[in-house]
């Protein structure tokens, strides 16, 4: 299974205290993505400038000639880098780190089950991403093992996968955290790289079966200035969701991804975008409630009041 990392004591990926496993690789390219290191389905290297001692060992060992010092520190030519990872092993200061690795499902299960002491009644394991449904077979196997050991399970997905992938995964899942971002398919394509017809069809599929399967369904919408925060978008999403989910979280935009983009040598169009205000988030929640979607609430950081 291609994973990015495992995060412990998480409180943002479902109810209770959880351990979240982040898969590596995502079929969407959301312009606002906060986890750019999880997009590519292969290991990548990051340079951590604050650790670098400038010894240039990495440049000497790189067989592809992909590394050079520039005005902003070590530059990685990612079109030349073939991801051999020789530089990460050679760096004496651990300033070059590998992001992403392949792990056996049984190995991951052994690691995750150790955390059961803090799950309590509500918590458990969340499989997230990247996009976990891109690894549906491995995810189903891991979820089955966890369920058979009495662990609460959740899947956090963008919904862009085949319906049969959900058929594999849902029997072993207690909670689905499902992203609905933009109701209009053309605008969805513009901001995420794909249209939303498959995502909406999978949402219908899950919503129709949630009672029979005993699933809890939480919808999540990242509220991104200029992209998803339009009132007509929130109204259209509310009409889709009303009566069909247990909770709808409007997640206020945060700009914490800025440094991650820098370390990966990428620019981020939202780097200077300010946080949402509490007032604006409350207005959007109010619109959802007016349409009859009373399970809507907002979460996340908002700008300090002036």
Contacting residue, 1, 4, 67, 151, with ligand SF4 by CB under 6 A: 67
Among 6, 64, 194, 301, binds ligand SF4 (CB under 6 A): 64
Positions in 21-50 near ligand SF4 (CB under 6 A): 45
Examine residue 86 and tell whether it contacts ligand SF4 (CB under 6 A).
Answer: yes
Among 28, 95, 175, 206, indicate the residue that binds ligand SF4 (CB under 6 A): 95
Other Cβ atoms closer than 10 A to 82: 10
- Determine, following the binding rule CB under 6 A, whether residue 207 of this chain makes contact with ligand SF4: no
Query: Smallest distance, Å, CB 294 to ligand SF4?
Result: 51
224 makes contact with ligand SF4 (CB under 6 A): no
Site membership for ligand SF4, residue 89 (CB under 6 A)? no
Q: How do strand 175-179 and strand 153-157 relate by DSSP bridges?
A: parallel
Whether residue 210 contacts residue 217, with contact meaning beta carbons closer than 8 Å, is answered with: yes
Question: Which residues is 19 bridged to in the sheet?
Answer: 125
DSSP characters over 265-287? T---TTTTPPPPPHHHHHHHHHH
Q: Three-state SS for 148?
A: helix
Tokens of 304: 């300090």
Answer for which of 3, 91, 206, 224 binds ligand SF4 (CB under 6 A) is 91
Closest approach of Cβ 68 to ligand SF4, in Å?
10
Strand 247-252 with 296-299, pairing: parallel
Kindly indicate which of the ranges 51-59, 224-232, 242-250, 268-276 contains the residues binding ligand SF4, using the contact rule CB under 6 A.
Answer: 51-59
Min separation Cβ 58 and ligand SF4, Å: 3
Burial of 39 (0-12, 13-18, 19+ CB in 10 A): buried
For tokens 């073939």, the residue is 82
The answer to whether 187 touches 36, Cβ cutoff 8 Å, is no
Task: Indicate which single residue of 31, 81, 113, 194 sits in contact with ligand SF4 (rule: CB under 6 A).
Answer: 81
Name residue 76's beta-bridge partners: 67
Torsion from C-alpha of 158, 162, 168, 170, nearest 10 degrees: 40
> Judged by CB under 6 A, which of 8, 11, 42, 55 binds ligand SF4?
55
Q: Based on the shown chain and the rule CB under 6 A, indicate whether residue 83 belongs to the binding site for ligand SF4.
A: yes
- Binding window for ligand SF4 (CB under 6 A); candidates: 16-24, 66-74, 148-156, 255-263: 66-74
Tell me the Cα Rg of the chain.
20
Site map for ligand SF4, 117-136, x if CB under 6 A? --------------------
The token duo for 46 is 């990051």
Q: Which two tokens stand for residue 8?
A: 């412990």
Binding flag, residue 264, ligand SF4 (CB under 6 A): no
Nearer to ligand SF4, 66 or 252 (CB): 66
Q: Which is nearer to ligand SF4, 56 or 239 (CB)?
A: 56
Compute the least distance from the CB of residue 98 to ligand SF4, in Å. Answer: 8
Determine how many CB atoms are found less than 10 A away from the CB of residue 258. Answer: 14
Q: How far is the CB of 45 from ligand SF4 (least distance, A)?
A: 5
* Minimum distance from residue 265 beta carbon to ligand SF4 (Å): 11
Classify burial at 79, counting beta carbons within 10 Å of its beta carbon; exposed 0-12, middle 13-18, buried 19 or more: exposed
Residues that bind ligand SF4 (CB under 6 A): 45, 52-58, 61-62, 64, 66-67, 74, 76, 81-87, 91, 93, 95-96
């Amino acid at each position: 299974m291609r994973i990015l990392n495992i995060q412990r004591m998480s409180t943002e990926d479902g109810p209770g205290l959880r351990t979240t496993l982040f898969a590596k690789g995502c079929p969407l390219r959301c312009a606002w993505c906060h986890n750019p290191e999880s997009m590519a389905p292969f290991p990548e290297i990051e340079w951590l400038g604050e650790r670098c001692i400038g010894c240039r060992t990495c440049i000497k060992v790189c067989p592809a000639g992909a590394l050079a010092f520039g005005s902003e520190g070590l530059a990685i030519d990612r079109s030349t880098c073939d991801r051999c990872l020789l530089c990460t092993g050679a760096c004496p200061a651990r300033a070059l780190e590998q992001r992403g690795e392949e792990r056996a499902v049984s190995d991951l299960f052994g690691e995750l089950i150790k955390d059961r002491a803090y799950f309590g009644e509500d918590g458990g394991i969340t499989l997230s991403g990247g996009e976990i449904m891109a690894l549906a077979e491995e995810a189903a196997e891991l979820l089955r093992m966890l369920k058979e050991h009495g662990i609460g399970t959740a899947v956090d997905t963008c919904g862009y996968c085949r319906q049969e992938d959900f058929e594999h995964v849902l029997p072993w899942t207690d909670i689905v955290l499902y992203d609905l971002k933009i109701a209009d398919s053309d605008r969805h394509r513009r901001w995420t790289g794909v249209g939303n017809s498959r995502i909406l069809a999978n949402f219908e599929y899950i919503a129709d079966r949630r009672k029979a399967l005993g699933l809890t369904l939480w919808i999540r919408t990242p509220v991104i200035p200029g992209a998803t925060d339009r009132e007509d978008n929130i109204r259209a999403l509310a009409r889709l969701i009303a009566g069909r989910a247990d909770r709808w979280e409007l997640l206020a935009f945060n700009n914490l991804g800025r440094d991650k983009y820098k370390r990966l040598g990428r620019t981020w169009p939202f780097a200077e975008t300010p946080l949402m205000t509490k007032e604006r988030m409350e207005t959007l929640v109010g619109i959802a409630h007016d349409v009859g979607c009373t399970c809507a609430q907002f979460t996340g950081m908002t700008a300090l009041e002036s």
